[in-house]
Amino acid sequence: MKYVIANLKSHKTTSEVNSWLSDCNNIASDSKVIVALAFPYLHLAKSFKLELGAQDASPFPPGSYTGAVNSTQLSDLGVKYCLIGHSERRQYFHETSIEVADKAEELLSADITPIICVSEKELSSQFAALQEETIKKSLFAYEVLTDIGGTETTPISHIVDMIALLKKYTNGNSLGILYGGSVNPANVNSLVGIVDGLLVATASLDPQSFAQVVQGFSPHV
């Protein structure tokens, strides 16, 4: 299975998310097309057929954790996938690999697939914190902080090396290894056949450019 994930991050308002969802609802592709929305907009995806993702989850079960959104609540809203450990979460919110591992456990207990974001920096600490069973049931996204929000991906040869390294860390047993960082319609072709999926932010904000990325990665046949 191939995956293309639109990470809308902390962008857009209700009417903009609604219009994005209707524009992207019918993108034809053999990939699973997932949109990761901010918490307040998750409920808007109900009447659309896109797969729904969240951008974060609580490391705790339901209970007295003010401000936390737990996995049961996400599942209640139709969330099937959830990004965790995105480099922006690790950088700006100081998330640790242990917290990310706890989030993954919580998500799996609610039947949500974790999409665990990793970069070179925390590879060994992240995998040391994950159980074998968790790895098997998760997707991984390789990202480089300095390549996020730009126009050029990390050199393809480096991505190839990193995917091979991640396959070692996962014993080739995860649900798939994705790449994220400056993916856009102009460079998507170079990633076909190299990665199991894409994590796209900047180029996903405009529905037309997101559709081009999806179709460039995995045309409907």
Q: Check binding of 199 to ligand PGA (CB under 6 A).
A: yes
Instruction: Please tell me which residue in 16, 51, 86, 105 is annotated as part of the active site.
Output: 86
Size of the site for ligand PGA (CB under 6 A): 13
- Least distance to ligand PGA, CB of residue 181, Å: 5
Q: Which of 142, 182, 197, 211 binds ligand PGA (CB under 6 A)?
A: 182
Q: In the annotation, is 86 catalytic?
A: yes
| C-alpha dihedral, 116 to 9 to 60 to 134, nearest 10° | -10
Candidates 24-32, 63-71, 108-116, 143-151: pick the segment binding ligand PGA (CB under 6 A).
143-151
- CB-nearer residue toward ligand PGA: 174 or 184: 184
- CA nearest to 100, candidates 113, 117, 88: 117
Q: Does 178 bind ligand PGA (CB under 6 A)?
A: no
Neighbours of 18 (CB within 10 A): 16
Alpha helices in 63-153 (DSSP H): 71-76, 87-92, 97-109, 123-129, 132-136
Q: In this structure, are residues 116 and 85 in contact, taking their beta carbons and an 8 Å threshold?
A: yes
Q: Work out the burial of residue 104: count CB atoms within 10 Å of its CB; fewer than 13 is exposed, 13-18 middle, 19 or more buried.
A: buried
Burial class (CB in 10 A: 0-12, 13-18, 19+), 130: buried
If binding is defined by CB under 6 A, does position 116 make contact with ligand PGA? no
Name the nearest CA neighbour of 117 among 206, 2, 5: 5
Catalytic residue among 51, 99, 106, 143: 143
For residues 191 and 153, what is the distance between their CA atoms, to the nearest angstrom?
A: 9
If one asks whether residue 114 binds ligand PGA (CB under 6 A), the answer comes out as no
From 175, 188, 201, 214, residue interacting with ligand PGA (rule: CB under 6 A): 201
Q: Which of 40, 149, 155, 219 binds ligand PGA (CB under 6 A)?
A: 149
The CA angle 163-166-167, to the nearest 5 degrees, is: 85
Per rule CB under 6 A, is residue 202 in the interface with ligand PGA?
A: yes
Q: Which is nearer to ligand PGA, 7 or 174 (CB)?
A: 7
> Residue 195 or residue 200: which is nearer to ligand PGA going by CB?
200
Residues 1-20 that bind ligand PGA (CB under 6 A): 7
Q: Which residue lies nearer to ligand PGA by CB, 62 or 149?
A: 149
Tokens of 73: 């609540």
Residues at the interface with ligand PGA (CB under 6 A): 7, 143, 148-149, 180-183, 199-203
Residue positions annotated with a catalytic role: 86, 143
